[in-house]
Amino acid sequence: MNVAPKEILDLNRFDATRTDGFPPELAERVARRQSSFGASSVLFYEQPIEMVRASGAYMYDVNGRRYLDVYNNVPSVGHCHPRVVEAIARQVGQLNIHTRYLNRVVEDYAEKLLATFPSPLGNLVMTCTGSESNDLAMRIARIGTGGEGFIVTEAAYHGNTALVTEISPSSLRRREPALFVEVIPAPTAHDDMSVEDSFAASVEQAIAKLRARGLALAGMIVDTIFSSDGIYADPPGFLKTAVDIVHRAGGLFIADEVQPGFGRSGGGLWGFRRHGITPDIVTMGKPMGNGFPMGGVVTRPDLLKMFCEETGYFNTFGGNPVAAAAGRAVLEVIEEEGLIEASRSVGTGFRQALEALRMAHPQIGEVRGAGLFIGLDFIDPEQVAPDSALTTHVINEMKQNGILIGAAGKFGATLKIRPPLCFSSDDAAVFVATLDTILEAR
């Protein structure tokens, strides 16, 4: 099952060698950008967009053109939400310092956040990014278990540090996974087995393979909605058997909530809640501060203590009062604007409309998801195969029609539908109608 996943960064990536026909000013802007950022520059679209402002579920380019954002999950409560903006602006003018002093903003936020987790997840470490969170989580798991090995899904992305890149098959361009990593397929039903049973069987096999290499299990880490794999949410609860197997093998279960967390799945604040499981470690990032760089690790006090006895850990920017103010505003907005319920109800209607569209267009394969996180597969109906060319076509046509959308999955043939949570049913209707027209014209 070690099919090399399509490199997720390459999906929908601008090709800097193809600027023929660009307006001269755009060509110059792109050239200057490439000159500064070099090989690390990643721009979207065949012809990149210059963005200047954003609000709610909309972004605006330099010419004042409006785009409906159906892709960005970092500004999760809405681009430039006034409540979050005000919290950041106020706190950054007052105090912005590390956590070595007492500060009520920081302590209140930590308590408010921890109250959303089940016991025994009682301690929080604040970081700056999801990558830092997963890097720390892996070390906590290793020290807590004495094991080395990790199980991850085959197109997973967990971040960009050296260690975390090793458990992110979608980032590894040339290499086989490291010896300590065992890669399993995304959770799907097959061979007469349910999703739950087939995923559990893959985990069993992975543990056996690690053992055969002399490696004890440190843990399994999954994004609880399997974003990069192509969004696999159903049936709720399918993760439970696999997590039990991990625990019986002495490993820990790390729930990477960087993508599904903060209400996106519509089934509570955290994706793992839909599965009726309690992780040993939970990691957070992207939407935590609605764009303010912040991340976090929540775990059991005993695990954190073992880690801290082994390694001194301090994060200079982590948990600064501006991050705490942003994070608190995000939690308050989610609660006061009912965004979890909105994610569930708008998301459900959206999925139903996409299902209806599937009936009319054989190029649409499965529609999967939970809340406002939906994966829609494009297939070549004659070959019954993933169609990444059609996916790219749709992404660029959508852009022409003022809609921002991206792709995921190991074949790059799954639309990743993941708008800010303030996305409305009307917005969903616009998306569906536009997609209908594009597929009709194809």
- Asked if residue 173 binds its own copies (CB under 8 A), the reply is yes
- Asked if residue 206 binds its own copies (CB under 8 A), the reply is no
- Give me the sign of the Cα torsion angle 344, 348, 349, 354: positive
Residue length of the chain: 442
CB of 357 to its own copies, least distance (A): 27
415 touches 375 (CB < 8 A)? yes
Question: Residue 388: in which H helix or E strand, if any?
Answer: helix 388-400
- Asked if residue 89 binds its own copies (CB under 8 A), the reply is yes
Name which of 283 and 320 has its Cβ closer to its own copies: 320
- Asked if residue 400 binds its own copies (CB under 8 A), the reply is no
Backbone angles phi, psi at 183, to 5 degrees: -100, 130
Name which of 44 and 236 has its Cβ closer to its own copies: 44
Largest CA distance in the chain: 64
Interactions with its own copies, residue window 98-117 (CB under 8 A): 98-104, 107, 110-111, 114
- Asked if residue 22 binds its own copies (CB under 8 A), the reply is no
66 touches 60 (CB < 8 A)? yes
The answer for residues whose C-beta is within 8 angstroms of residue 359's C-beta and 6 or more apart is none
- Asked if residue 85 binds its own copies (CB under 8 A), the reply is yes
331 touches 325 (CB < 8 A)? no
Interactions with its own copies, residue window 115-154 (CB under 8 A): 122-125, 128-132, 135-136, 138-139
* Interface with its own copies: number of residues (CB under 8 A): 100
Interactions with its own copies, residue window 327-366 (CB under 8 A): none
Interactions with its own copies, residue window 300-329 (CB under 8 A): 301, 304-305, 307-317, 320, 322-323
Name which of 59 and 186 has its Cβ closer to its own copies: 59
Name which of 131 and 388 has its Cβ closer to its own copies: 131
Interactions with its own copies, residue window 53-72 (CB under 8 A): 53-54, 59, 72
- Asked if residue 48 binds its own copies (CB under 8 A), the reply is yes
Q: Which of residues 3, 37, 389, 424 is near its own copies by CB under 8 A?
A: 37
Burial category of 59 from C-beta neighbours within 10 Å (exposed 0-12, middle 13-18, buried 19 and up) = buried
Name which of 404 and 435 has its Cβ closer to its own copies: 404
Burial category of 401 from C-beta neighbours within 10 Å (exposed 0-12, middle 13-18, buried 19 and up) = middle
Name which of 173 and 190 has its Cβ closer to its own copies: 173
The answer for residues whose C-beta is within 8 angstroms of residue 68's C-beta and 6 or more apart is 57, 58, 402, 403, 404, 419, 427, 430, 431
